[in-house]
Structure 1
Amino acid sequence: MFTGLGNLEELHLNRNDITDIQAGTFNSTSQLRYLDLRLSDNNITTFPFDELSRLQRLYRLDLNNNQMTTLPSIAYNILSSISDVNIGNNPWQCDCRMVDVRLKMAGTYPFEDQITCSQPDHLNGRKLRFIRLENLKSDCEEPTIVRFVKGDSVPLFFGGTLHLICEATGIPTPEITVTLPSGLIATVESVGRVTVDMNGNIIIRNVTADDSGRYVCIAKNSVGSTYSVFSTDVSLFYPGVVVGSVADPGSKNHLHKPLLVLLVYVGSYSGP
């Protein structure tokens, strides 16, 4: 959205009736230091907190007076790294979806006292950090991985991008972790060649033959965890040799660019 604004330092979006902030919105704003989403007229229900891990200079975040009801576990880690946070005046739903955030609360950061419950009725007006965990866990669900698949059918060339999707359900929303064939572990906080977002999109850039092998996706929340395995066989080969014709004696034999072929074993398997 903000392509070409790499030097942008402050962004004020208040009173724009925004309802959704899409993934990738802040990819081109690495210098952003002040994000104002106070928006008394806005209705933001969800926010891609994992996107903020790329904004290393961000020191102020204002999400006051929106329509957010829950926070993913990663949100606590992100908010605790920002100096000035305002997330008050949102209709927080204090149920199992907030257990992971509640577990991390120790009264260390001011934003912890800004989460006042609106629902359920018997917790209305109470601050989340003072609610006993057993009062939040009545509707918890262990994670289930719905699918772990390649995200597209585009052939992979050497140096290309591999897109995997590990979609999981559960209450609270499970955190996704993926282990690559190399043993590297990537999470939603990872930056660089391998990234994972809150929706389970796993992106591996600049692929090589070393990216061949077994990928393990782990979905975990406060009540359990599960995993699924996706195996690939990435092979380097040369499609052929092009020979110059008599009509073009100046041409030379040459090899095509190496092609990475992704052979996916049928299905994946999961475990508890």
Structure 2
Amino acid sequence: MGVLQQIITGLCDAGDEVIFAWRSFEAYPILVELAGARAVRIPLDHLEGHDLDAMAAAVTERTKIILLCTPNNPTGVPISHDRIEAFLRAVRSDILVVIDEAYVEYAEAGSGPDSLALYREYPNVCILRTFSKAYGLAGLRVGYAVAAPEIAEGLRRTALPFSVSALAQKAAIASLDAGEEMEARVAVVKQERARMSRELAARGWKLEPSQGNFLWIRADDELRTRLMEAFDGAGIMVRAYQGDGVRITVADAAANDRVLRILAAHAA
């Protein structure tokens, strides 16, 4: 998130526009407003994914940045390679298109873009990734960008000194050497994600396939309130979004069974 804040602050002046899907990562509008820019929220499509046609149509002469979150947080829906490539051909090359892949390690191969290939072909593409999710370093706040040299140089110049501690740097480097362990943890999440999706679908819940480490339940405020009361009563933490729904993190099998029991009792 720190790198994204640098990007938005560095590129946007007052009144400039940043386009992103909504609902998506909740920090997007906050960071845009902190930079004095204008947040342009484009509603998700009926499959809980990015409406890229609407996003392209929303571009104006003040558009500086477009954020694409894949898999999308909180819905888990990815954006395919072909769709992003067509989108890049449709928008101006002076607009920075940021592909936020915070949850990419949880995605099945081929479900999302080959972002590095897009970066190599389109100079206005910037990729964001993090060690906070699949690598398990959430408290250390380590992330990085893959960007064109001029963007990367700007990020270096605007970086807050000492924002990443020596301990965090060592942990990130150690994580790179623990790929097999990370992949084993991710495999368990994928297995449990598939199991939960099957059981919930069998009980009448309508879910779009998630490629994150969470499941998304679209819910109006009445259903959301009932679910939150049930989860709170059971001591289970989930993330609620007013007017939209509930995001449930995939945990270990025992915790997931508790979630399934609650949702079974509230199935439509």
Q: Above 0.5 in TM-score?
A: no
By percentage of residues, which structure has more strand? 1
Q: TM-score w.r.t. structure 1 length?
A: 0.29
**TM-score by structure 2 length?**
0.30
Higher-Rg member (1/2): 1
